[in-house]
Structure 1
Amino acid sequence: MRFVPTALVAATLVAAIVVLPAQASHAQVTTTPGLSPSLTTGGGAAPSGPDAGSSLVSSGLLNGLSQLSIGDISRFVGANSTAVTDLLAAPPAAANVAVWWDRLDDVRQSALVQAAPQLVGNLEGVPFIVRDRANRTLLGQSIREAQEAADSGTTSPNGDPKQVLEMLRSVSSALEGEPKQPKRSLLALDTVYPGRAAVVVGDLSTADYVSVLVPGMYFSVKDQLVDWTATAQTLYTAERAWQDYFRGGARSERPDEGIATVAWIGYHTPELGTVGSERQAMEGARFLEQALSGIRSARPGHEPYVSVLGHSYGSTAALITLRSGQVSVDALALMGTPGSETTQSVKDLDVANGNVWVGGALLDPVVGTGFFGTDPGSAAFGARSFDVEGGEDPLSNTVLDGSFGHNEYFKQNSRSLRNLALIALGRGELAAETPSFTSIGPVRLGGITR
């Protein structure tokens, strides 16, 4: 039997009358006879565009949920899981969600985390620390449910219980870092097999530099999230080493200060039979756009330097994302990229100052193909090339390995990893192909000339 909320709140849920305007200062609380309190625009424009209707419905659902009793929240979510899924598929703008969340008191926030962890954990605009707590709650609940289903031989709405359990245990393993490594948090979690997830290395709430790693084909939460998170850790370590270098060797007292890397498997990546189409890249672009918007809107007036590092098919998803006109980043690095038919040049992308970089390793069969359109490595595209060959680092004077084939761009102690870290720190000028110390000039930071 489906749970039916009180008629008063049901009117808010169904009518979806709430508009949370971006101009929060113009919003005011009003009371309509027969309806629960709702926000109306005080001169602000309602959302527009192709998703405006869905956004209004989502906003109405959010406000309606926040006005249910504590017990009714849990019952409504349990009986209307599709409504939560639909809301996350077409959510309100992250800035509007932030306004909604800030208006809730501590008791109501805690109740929503416990009763609707899937919603709170994956809703852009909710504080990152709260999303981590909600997603960990969802993870624990889902593991218990999958284990019970596997033990009893019953079916699960999330898929085959054994596969779901293996997938969720991979998420748990990805969250376990070494004692001296920075903390990890669960930014996103979809428990329906094959799932989606994003694990953060570092503190996304305070980081000055945020790097989002977007993978290509054959990447699944069950089989690759642990390794992809290890890759994010490797990049974090490289960025941290360069950050210390530019500080003149001074190491921060906080191990996670300034940097966060995101192991993002936020879409269902293609397999051999589907990699010839951009369809899944378009799906990935939709989710990536939402994730980047959430990062961008989390700290108004103090946004981090955001870079996207896309590998293989993931670079295609990144290109589509930044071609949409809905979100921008500070740097984009493409590795082993097949391009995208939607993007003909750097000028098509919302990347600050055209800060787009392309790396192509020797014997990488994808490099130079332009499989989906213009080759991003071509001169006509307008991106800059970063060096992936081995040799001596002109700054540290250490010998770095070269990258070969399609899967060595994040290889430890490689020039490619070194240059990706520099690009992510806004030091792309030091990553150009065949750099020389004399052409770069001395770097003076922290009182030390290098």
Structure 2
Amino acid sequence: MTLTIQDVIRWDPGAVRAVGDAARTRAQTSIDVANNVPTFPEWTGPGSEEAKQAIDRIRQTLMRDADAALAAARSADTAATNVQIVKDNLQQVLNMARDCGMIVDPVAGTVHPARPGMAQPNDWHNAEVLQQALQQVLAQANSVDQQLATAMDQADDVVDVPPEARPVPMPPPGADAEAVEQWWKSLSQKDRERLIDEHPPELGNLNGIPAAARDAINQQVLADDLGRITTTLTQHGVSAEQVLADPGFYGLSAADVTRYNNALKVQEGLNHQRGPEPDPSRQRPVMLWKYEPLADRGQGRAAIAIGNPDYADNTSVIVPGTGSSVKGGWLSDGHNDAMNLWDQAQLADPTHTHAVISWMGYDAPDGFSDTRVANPDLARSGGDLLAADVNGLWVTHQDPNQHVTVIGHSYGSTTVADAFAASGMHANDAVLLGCPGTDLAKSAADFHLDGGQVYVGSASTDPVSYIGTAPEYLHDYLNRKLGYPVGLNAGLGIDPAGDQFGSIRFDAEVAGRDGLDTNDHSHYYDAGSESLYSMTHIVTGNGDGLAAEGLTAEGRRQPHVDLPTEIDLPFGGRLELPPVGFDVPGSPAYIDPEAGRPSESVTKNHAY
């Protein structure tokens, strides 16, 4: 990856020279020891020749070590000199830009007048000249960077190389997954290992970095967040409650406390999804794929993967809805969604590998009393984040033939719909559970799936799943009349379970149902449920088999009117008419055929 101005500024030629000095000291030490190895010229007798030969080999080894150290010192000296030259050249260009009233972007490496609207032709000419000079310096820097990397790798074999002597260039902010992947691949193995060891927090969340590396980095950051508090407890001999009640007294910040509390929640999630089995070989293989404990005003973001999504044949991403957060414990606290789905996929298709990601990567509405639950703003912004993460899975996956399913529940299903319709998310299949509306996706065609389908699971007794049946104009009218209590955008779109949406609806009724019940909004992942059984078909790439197993359901429909088939004539007699019927225009599709299923047909014995 091309170096930026910031990368060159971070270079420290003094630290590089110090490496050369250390290598020279190592060389001199080896020479001194070699010169002081006794030769025993007068020693004769049994074994003497063999001993002298062994001693001579030691001397030769020491001299070879000295030669290697001297070579490393010379390489480090040359690199330090060239680093200094590049830094001086860069500073000269930056000084000229400042004197000419130019702005230099340290990341993009662009030069432009400070006030473009008032710039004269000569200003633009100067900007062009400075841009060319800057590009020449950065081209020089890239060449020197290769030399520096070689020199420090050479020195690393004989002395300890401090990080400041060879700062690893980071990808620029906002780099896409493809650029990050290219950057990661361009690093030497030593540089990758060093970055993982240093574990800068932002690195574990970059799409384009392999899942195993992300997990290693994020696990260390999480350990730091826990250790910052636990170390304080030990040092002061106090309880966690005392430290958390007054962190400033112990030299800690509010951010330290937030990181600690969310680290506890994520650790609980890892333990929960790993399972209670003491034998590691029988535990679920969990990975911390994402970890941002301070995000979303301290509610945090995180994603736990069961299985490695870089190598799995089938990967599913689960997106939660209203009331979910890292801080609130969605990754644990009895939520078995990912565990149940992964377990069933393993049993249903043991010949393929599977990964399920619990994605708590956006700011969901805090609850049904949160007015944001009635507008799509969080779904749209969350959709952008979700699309970036899901699309990143395709970049790091080792086989382009993987099958990816994205599953959204409740408000999370609206987020999934927006990720497909507005943010360019790429996946094979979509599953919407208890969906209150698909916002920007007006039909299944708006998902632009890669050969797959939009599948919908909506229990007839789940009241949340009917929200999208109300006409959109009604949401806007009421919102406007009430003074915009939920913001400018009201309502979450239309119901994807309707028979005109273009989706495939699968059986998702709740065993023991008894009319509309808000609790029935939370049973889609229940073990043994027909909903989980249907989703297992879908995530293993066998959604086409739902109909054959009798797991598909009719879509909800609008009220239907049938015209009379005969009328009385005013002069006597009757006139027979052809049968004609139509759906009531503008009416919601609220009639649910699933509500008429016999209760005994809804069971919890659907499991592999």
User: In the TM superposition, what whole-angstrom CA distance separates every residue of 1:402-447 from its partner, at most 9, and x where no partner exists?
Assistant: x97100000011111100111111111233498179xxxxxxxxxx
Q: Which runs of 5+ in 2 are unaligned?
A: 1-6, 12-83, 95-103, 111-133, 144-148, 154-160, 233-242, 469-490, 512-517, 553-608
Q: Distance in 1 between matches of 2:545 and 2:502?
A: 18
Deviations 1:5-28, CA, capped at 9 Å, x for gaps:
348578899533589xxxxxxxxx
Out of 508, 527, 533, the residue aligned to residue 412 of structure 1 is 527
1:383 aligns with 2:503: yes
Question: Could you say if the C-alpha distance between residues 120 and 107 of structure 1 is closer, same or farther in structure 2, counting changes exceeding 3 Å?
Answer: same
State whether structure 2 residue 339 is matched by structure 1 residue 233. yes
Report the 3-state secondary structure (helix = DSSP H, G, I; strand = E; otherwise coil) of the residue aligned with 2:466: coil
Matched residue SS, 2:467: coil
In structure 1, the residue matched to 2:494 is 374
The question of whether the paired residues in 2 share the 8 Å contact of 1:347 and 1:354 is answered with no
Deviation at residue 229 of structure 1 after TM alignment: 6.4
Map of 1:190 onto structure 2 = 292
Cα distance change of structure 1 residues 294 and 433 upon mapping to structure 2, 3 Å threshold? same
Q: What secondary structure, in the 3-state scheme, does the structure 2 residue paired with 1:187 have?
A: strand
Q: Which is greater in Rg?
A: 2
Q: Which residue of 2 aligns with 1:42?
A: none
Q: Name the amino acid aligned to 1:159.
A: A
Q: Deviations over 1:365-401 (max 9, x none)?
A: 111221411211112211110101369xxxxxxxxxx
Deviation at 1:33, TM superposition (A): 3.1
Shift of 1:166: 2.5
> Does 2:209 match 1:137?
no
Larger fraction in helix = 2
Report SS of the residue matched to 2:436.
Answer: coil
Give the root-mean-square deviation of aligned CA atoms: 3.6
**Counterpart for residue 381 of structure 2:** 283
Secondary structure of 1:369's counterpart equals helix
Structure 2 contact 222–263 (Cα < 8 Å) conserved: yes
The answer on whether the counterparts of 1:296 and 1:303 sit within 8 Å (CA) in structure 2 is: no
Paired residues of 2:432 and 2:456 also in contact (CA < 8 A): yes
8 A Cα contact 1:362 1:404, kept in partner: no
Pick the aligned partner of 2:196 from 95, 113, 124.
113
Matching of residues 300-379 of structure 1 within 5 Å: 302-324=400-422, 326-353=424-451, 355-370=453-468, 371-379=491-499
- For 1:5, give the aligned amino acid: R
Q: How far off its partner does 1:238 sit? A: 0.9
Look up the match of 1:159: 255
Kept in 2, the 8 Å contact 1:387–1:433? The answer is no
Matching residue of 1:209: 314
Secondary structure, counterpart of 1:332 in structure 2:
strand
Q: How far apart are the structure 2 equivalents of 1:160 and 1:213?
A: 29
Q: Which amino acid aligns with 2:107?
A: A
SS of equivalent residue, structure 2 residue 10: coil
| CA deviation map 1:296-336 (0-9, x unaligned) | 11136524200011000000110010013623111101011
**In structure 1, what is the equivalent of residue 136 of structure 2?**
32
CA deviation map 1:65-119 (0-9, x unaligned): x99x853399999xxxxx99x93xxx31211211110110122112222334322
Give the length in aligned residue pairs.
367
Q: Which residue of 2 aligns with 1:421?
A: 536
1:287 deviates by 1.3
> Deviation at 1:205?
2.2
1:270 equivalenced with 2:371 (yes/no) = no
Note if contact 2:410-2:434 (Cα within 8 Å) is conserved in structure 1: yes
Deviations 1:254-312 (A, max 9, x none): xxx61000011001211232211212112211111111111111136524200011000
Residues 1:16 and 2:107 are matched in the alignment: yes
Is the aligned partner of 1:260 residue 2:355? yes
Q: Report SS of the residue matched to 2:425.
A: coil
Q: Is the alpha carbon distance of 1:413 and 1:152 closer, same or farther for their aligned partners in structure 2, counting shifts above 3 Å?
A: same
Amino acid at match of 2:222: L
Of 164-173 and 313-322, deviating more is 164-173
Q: 1:328 to 1:428 in 2, by over 3 A?
A: same
Q: 1:337 to 1:344 in 2, by over 3 A?
A: same
* Contact persistence 2:184–2:209 (CA under 8 A): yes
Cα pair 1:74 1:115 within 8 Å, conserved: no
The whole-number CA distance in structure 2 between the counterparts of 1:94 and 1:288 is: 13
Letter in 1 for 2:325: S
Residue equivalent to 1:242: 348
Letter in 2 for 1:32: Q
Alignment-mate amino acid for residue 269 of structure 1: A
- State the percentage of identical aligned residues: 25
CA distance in structure 1 between the partners assigned to 2:382 and 2:141 by the alignment: 36
Kept after mapping to 1: 8 A contact 2:310/2:398: no
Which deviations, in whole Å up to 9, do the C-alpha atoms of 1:181-212 show, x marking residues without a partner? 32100000002121100000112221000000
8 Å contact kept, 2:311–2:398: no
User: In the aligned structure 2, how far is the partner of 1:71 from the partner of 1:165?
Assistant: 27
- The within-5 A match list for 1:38-57 is 38=142
Report the residue type matching 1:281 in the other structure.
A
TM-fit CA distance, 1:120: 1.9
Name the TM-score, length of structure 1 as normaliser: 0.72
- Whether contact under 8 Å (1:73, 1:112) holds in the other structure is no
Whole-angstrom distance in 2 between the partners of 1:111 and 1:151: 36
Distance 2:253 2:344 in 1: 41
